[in-house]
Amino acid sequence: MKILVTGAAGFIGSHTAERLKAMGHEVVGVDNFSPYYDLSLKKLNASALAEKAIEIVNIDLRTDNLVEKLPNNLDYIFHFAAHPGISNTSTFEDYFSNNILATQRLLEFAEKLPKQPFFVNIATSSIYGLEATFPESVPPKPASWYGVTKLAAEQLVLAKSRANNLKATSFRLFSVYGPRERPDKLYTRLIDCGLNNKAFPLFEGSEKHLRSFTYVQDIVDGIVSVFGKEKICNGEIFNLGTETESTTAQGISTVEEILNTKIATENKPPRAGDQSRTKANIDKARKLLGYNPKTSLKDGLIAQTVWFKNNF
């Protein structure tokens, strides 16, 4: 099959593109190489994909002519491209344009194709709000611009399914970590601090936050489980993550154990909209998709540490 992956130079998008290629599919990657974080990491990811014959085209979904620049014979679209996370330097317009407008333009493009592709939207546990411990049927209460705009994007996608204009599904991902994790995320920053004798910025109260830290390959397992289950997935939302909870403090101590060092911390004020607890309720994905994440936090962090040492 011919598959479009948006945000293919990013963290989870690049891993998914690699998996799809390994499964024998033709993969077309697109990314706008936003400077939201260090472009050198995205270029590193793009180089890794190029070695596996996966080309990433520089396209901005918000402004470029998608009909001219994208293939018209797609079987699947995996939509990762977004403005992620909680950032004090990002404006509402950043989240709106990247998460809502870009998604709407991509949907309009998909609707016009001669053979409409199956649309897989990549969403987030931030949709649930300050606590994300619920099944997919619970009404969301997002508490950040990121969560609000990702919920809006998800509903744009599912509205197309409800109107029978596209077949589509949405996966809500929980606290993903592993090789290629963004530099602003917890574990890449922790590993960097531990190896380079830097102080780790610890937001007030965050050491007690509970997370379903989920290894990236376990997330990709869930994403690609859509193949052969399109009828089951159409119009549905699925949580993907581990049911095991760990505190941020436990995560810090695990990295310290792997690196055999003590990481100094620098206290920071609490972040507005930061989730206090995430625990993936994956009953639906387990039952309908056979989803079963298995990687322990320590094993995943060992792999991430090796990646960081090899590349930085």
The CA dihedral of 273, 200, 172, 166, to the nearest 10 degrees, is: 90
Catalytic residue among 36, 37, 76, 146: 146
For residue 5, give both structure tokens.
């992956």
Going by C-alpha positions, the residue among 187, 244, 247, 252 that lies closest to residue 212 is: 244
Q: What letter represents residue 274's amino acid? A: D
* Torsion angles phi and psi, residue 78, rounded to 5: -110, 115
Task: State the DSSP string of 175-241.
Answer: SEESTT--TTSHHHHHHHHHHHT--EEEETTGGG-EE--EEHHHHHHHHHTTTT-HHHHTT-EEEES
**Which residue type, as a one-letter code, is found at position 102?**
A
Burial 217-237 (b: 16+ CB within 10 A, else e): bbbbbbbbbbeeeeeebbbbb
Q: Tell me whether residue 146 is one of the annotated catalytic residues.
A: yes
Closest C-alpha to 227, from 22, 5, 23: 23
3-state helix, strand, coil in the chain (%, to 5): 40, 20, 40
Q: Residue 283 — φ and ψ, nearest 5°?
A: -55, -45
Rg (CA), the chain: 19
User: What does residue 51 show for φ and ψ, rounded to 5 degrees?
Assistant: -65, -20
Alpha carbon 265 to its chain centroid, in Å, reads 27
Give the pairing type, strands 2-6 and 26-31.
parallel
Catalytic residue annotation: 146
